[in-house]
Amino acid sequence: MNAQNNFAKNSLIFSPSGVRGIVGEGLGPEEALRLSLCFGSMIPPGTVVLGRDTRPSGEMIQRLAAAGLMSTGHDVSILGIAPSPAIAFAVKKMGAVGGIIVSASHNPPSWNALKFLGPGGIALNEAQISELRNLYVLDSFKEVPWTSLGKAHDLSLLDDYRKALISLVDVEAIRKARLFAVIDAGNGAGSLVTPKALEDSGCQVFPLNVEIDGRFRRPIEPTRESLSDLAKKVVSLGADIGFAHDCDADRLVCINEKGEVLGEDLTLALIVDQILSKRKGGIVVTNVASSMVFDDVAESHGAKVLRTRVGEAYVVEKMIETGAIVGGEGSCGGVIIPDHLYTRDGILAALKIVEALALRGRTASQVFASFPRYYMARGKVPCSSGEAREVIEALKIGHSDEKLDLTDGIKIIGEKEWVLVRPSGTEPILRVMAEAEGPRRAEELCKDLLNEVLEILSRKLGKLGPLPFFSANS
């Protein structure tokens, strides 16, 4: 194996969120082909569903993934450009043995990833990803003879997916409410589904950034800073609600009728509240980085919150284990409803939000204001995986006399406040985030831990490095 191939293997990031890399600097044709060969060698015979988001590199990776799967004897159903949850839906509906989603979700356009799904459209868990990585590192895969090669065919299931989504909400109530929604699909795969799904459910819809041509009119990740045009459009049109997706539509950000960008935690909290209002009790699963508002919502309905490591696969694993009725990750606003799919769905989240507004008969600002208010602050520091482990071990020692949650990194828990330091599963960075009842306190907690992380890197590891990134979000 030459040095270039070794570099590519080492620069890929393996996690249940997928195998990610920068296209041309670690993730290229050979990597895409070999990853799909290894995946095809892991799974039983049968059909595999393949789809992608709208990144320019997606078609190249999709074609190579299809070739790898056919080389291991699997037939491939190619959905093409489709939201990630729609690809999972296709795996479940067709009874496929697996699926590959070609998408780096909220990462910049230079990134891409292959996210691997098992039966039912459920993402591979940590042990399965570890098995895939071992096969990849060892170049261990099984190709079939030419007489047993798989075949590829195009698949069209987006209409079925959209109809399945609409069946999960109260269309009559939404139509009576005559809600007006602006949807910024970010020139991503949600452009093909969300506007029509909202229309079919009874909303008046103004679509924004729905052109699919490989160009992104705003940054892929829907943040407060990148959604100023959407916020202005919601206000100028007198809309009731605004929605924004990332590139594969597993995320959702909401904007109220005043043009205020709402935290993803609140978006998911409203959906959880809506579901629990009809099904009292039960279990809600989210991750350790999600807001305390979920505990408040669950308590009001006699439900229990369980927290996992950050990552959809960990949330889903716990949901299946405990029979949870709803789950999701506060950082992205996408909801996981077992009656639909064991995967995050930003389009279903949008439909559930308009359903909640319709049934409650109040404005978005009034509905969201009814929840307890918490504030978050976030930061990140460039850091290798080895350095991240050293930092977290040092923090465990330094904060051993405080209440700690070691589910994912280290979470220091106070009275109605917490701060979390954890390695990212998708980028070579340490993430620091804090939550408190006031914005200044959240910023203070986050900045203090950022400084502590930098001090550890400098003192223990002899690394000064670039300054951390910090942002505050209400």
Mean pLDDT score, 26-35: 96
Q: Which of 357-371, 376-390, 440-454 has the lowest mean pLDDT?
A: 376-390
CB 288 within 8 A of CB 311: no
Nearest to 80, CA basis, from 155, 186, 190: 155
- Dump pLDDT digits (tens) for 379-426: 999 988 889 999 999 999 999 999 999 999 999 999 999 999 999 876
CATH of domain 375-473: 3.30.310.50
Fold agreement (3-157, 177-369)? yes
CA dihedral for 336, 340, 345, 350, sign (positive or negative) = negative
Burial class (CB in 10 A: 0-12, 13-18, 19+), 127: exposed
Architecture of domain 3-157: 3-Layer(aba) Sandwich (3.40)
The pLDDT score that the predictor gives to residue 17 is 85
What residues are paired with 412 via a beta bridge? 404, 419
Angstrom distance (rounded) from CA 234 to CA 238 = 6
**Where in the chain are the domains?**
3-157, 177-369, 375-473
* CATH classification (class only), 177-369: alpha beta
CB 326 within 8 A of CB 335: yes
Q: What H or E segment, with its residue span, contains residue 22?
A: strand 18-22
Angstrom distance (rounded) from CA 224 to CA 261 = 6
CB 278 within 8 A of CB 252: no
For 174, other C-beta atoms within 10 Å of its C-beta total 23
The catalytic residue positions are 105
- The answer to whether residue 202 scores a pLDDT higher than 90 is yes
**If DSSP codes are grouped into helix, strand and coil, which group holds residue 79?**
strand
Give the residue carrying structure tokens 């065919």. 153
Highest mean pLDDT among 15-24, 294-303, 330-339: 294-303
Give the phi and the psi of residue 465 in degrees, each rounded to 5: 65, 180
- The answer to whether residue 467 scores a pLDDT higher than 90 is no
